[in-house]
């Protein structure tokens, strides 16, 4: 008997779109539900993000995940996005700030047989000079394969598949397993705006044998209020990005590549209104506010001053002009061990229910790889990831 390859993905951000695409490419029929009218309405709606690996001399688990993840993301970008418009393989300069309390191990130039050889190297004078930095005594790193990507463009490309059906304004209020069919029955609340009468709602249902929770910062609430399960230690992180238009006179004063360190700085990003620059995001753990904050602007300004003094000086006037300084705010979801949570929730209580969440600040880098791991699990296939990485990413509800 042919397997029933139908799945409902709850959430239309990067995690949900990547999950849907991984299944759709394997022949699954996927419905993607989101409470918002359009995809990418929450944290995944950040205007631009950086794809890079976490460099560590001891090659820890986050390094292994992000190194493999960025290769997966960039392979998709090359095939489905327009370089120079939706993304750009600019390379990424990583500033290695250290202090007495948080010293960093010196980075040794990797040997040709090292896993880092083609990914991370000590920054050269030409890269540092392009960022307005001195090369004397620098321990900054250069990631030649790094890039910036517009998440909205990535999500739209992921969802652009004949087997994927996006359904906006669909809020899942509860879900139960049908004893008759064995499928999960989802009660859906539809939010409707009625002219001159305010808002209203109606109810319908959707069903499928497999469900993927990709609800981002709403994951703890979904677990608590819909499944009546603990929040798995997942927590929100509010972040604000500061940005502005980039006058042509500043083109030579701003780095031609993305820069990581105290947040990220990306310039020369094309939009319909002209080139733009971005710095952020702030990192307010256990906060879920989406209110634009002047304090967050000041924090981003301070970080830019430390990260790239020349760029900060070139942009100084914009920081003091409310009409030129703009903001974007979103709430990410993170786990205690900083790794994504991916896999089945609980094979006894919730058979057929899976999760991809807690991508933190690295969703662009890790979502597509994690989605492939998730799809392998749903299909009962062996994973491509090492067990040492799979275990700490597993959903702890499965051990409850």
Higher pLDDT, 114 or 29: 29
Percent of the chain with pLDDT over 90: 79
From the CB of residue 5, how many other CB atoms can be counted at a distance below 10 Å? 18
- CA-CA distance, 262 to 361, in Å (whole number)? 13
pLDDT at 23 over 60: yes
Per-residue confidence (pLDDT) for residue 285, from 0 to 100: 87
Q: pLDDT by residue (tens digit) across 248-294? A: 999 999 999 999 987 899 999 999 999 999 999 998 888 888 899 99
85-148+235-334: CATH topology is: D-Amino Acid Oxidase; Chain A, domain 2 (3.30.9)
pLDDT at 102 over 80: no
**24, 5 in Cβ contact below 8 A?**
no
**145, 119 in Cβ contact below 8 A?**
yes
DSSP letters along 333-369, please? EE-TTSS-EEEEEETTTEEEEEEEE--TT-HHHHHHH
Domain segments of the chain as ranges: 6-45+154-233+336-399, 85-148+235-334
Per-residue confidence (pLDDT) for residue 262, from 0 to 100: 78
Per-residue confidence (pLDDT) for residue 399, from 0 to 100: 46
Per-residue confidence (pLDDT) for residue 272, from 0 to 100: 95
Structure tokens given for 90: 């600019």
Structure tokens given for 4: 């029933």
Torsion sign over Cα 356, 361, 367, 369: negative
pLDDT at 196 over 80: no
According to DSSP, the β-strands at 6-10 and 210-213 are: parallel
Task: Tell me what the mean pLDDT of segment 328-355 comes to.
Answer: 94
Q: Which CATH architecture has domain 6-45+154-233+336-399?
A: 3-Layer(bba) Sandwich (3.50)
Per-residue confidence (pLDDT) for residue 396, from 0 to 100: 67
- CA-CA distance, 38 to 25, in Å (whole number)? 22
If pLDDT is split at 50, 70 and 90, which confidence band does 101 have?
low
Percent of the chain with pLDDT over 70: 95
Helix (H) or strand (E) holding 318: helix 316-319
């Amino acid at each position: 008997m042919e397997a029933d390859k139908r799945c409902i993905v709850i959430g239309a951000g990067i995690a949900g779109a990547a999950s849907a695409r991984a299944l759709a490419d394997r022949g699954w029929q996927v419905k993607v539900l989101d409470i918002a009218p359009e995809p990418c309405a929450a944290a995944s709606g950040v205007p631009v993000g950086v794809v890079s690996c976490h460099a560590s001399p001891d090659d820890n688990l986050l390094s292994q995940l992000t190194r493999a993840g960025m290769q997966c993301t960039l392979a998709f970008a090359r095939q489905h996005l327009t370089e120079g418009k939706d993304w750009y393989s600019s390379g990424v300069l990583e500033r290695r700030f250290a202090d007495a309390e948080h010293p960093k191990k010196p980075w040794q130039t990797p040997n040709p047989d090292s896993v880092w050889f083609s990914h991370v190297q000590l920054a050269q004078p030409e890269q540092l000079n392009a960022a307005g930095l001195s090369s004397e005594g620098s321990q900054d790193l250069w990631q030649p394969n790094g890039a910036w990507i517009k998440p909205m463009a990535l999500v739209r490309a992921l969802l652009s598949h004949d087997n994927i059906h996006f359904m906006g304004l669909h809020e899942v209020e509860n879900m139960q397993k049908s004893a008759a069919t064995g499928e999960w029955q989802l009660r859906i609340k539809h939010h409707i705006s009625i002219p001159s009468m305010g808002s209203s709602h109606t109810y319908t249902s959707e069903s499928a044998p497999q469900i993927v929770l990709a609800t981002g910062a709403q994951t703890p609430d979904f677990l608590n209020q819909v499944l009546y399960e603990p929040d798995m230690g997942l927590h929100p992180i509010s972040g604000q990005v500061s940005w502005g238009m980039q006058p042509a006179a500043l083109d030579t004063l701003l780095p031609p590549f993305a820069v990581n360190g105290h947040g990220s700085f990306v310039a020369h990003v094309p939009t319909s209104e002209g080139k733009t620059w971005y710095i952020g995001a702030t990192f307010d753990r256990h906060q879920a506010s989406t209110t634009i904050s002047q304090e967050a602007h000041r924090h981003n300004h301070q970080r830019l001053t430390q990260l790239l003094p020349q760029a900060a000086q070139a942009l100084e006037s914009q920081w003091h002009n409310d009409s030129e300084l703009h903001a974007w705010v979103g709430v990410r979801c993170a786990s205690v061990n900083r790794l994504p949570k991916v896999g089945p929730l609980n094979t006894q209580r919730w058979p057929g229910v899976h999760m991809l969440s807690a991508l933190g600040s690295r969703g662009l880098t890790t979502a597509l790889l994690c989605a492939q791991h998730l799809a392998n699990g749903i299909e009962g296939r062996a994973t491509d990831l090492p067990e040492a990485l799979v275990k700490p990413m597993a959903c702890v509800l499965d051990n409850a």
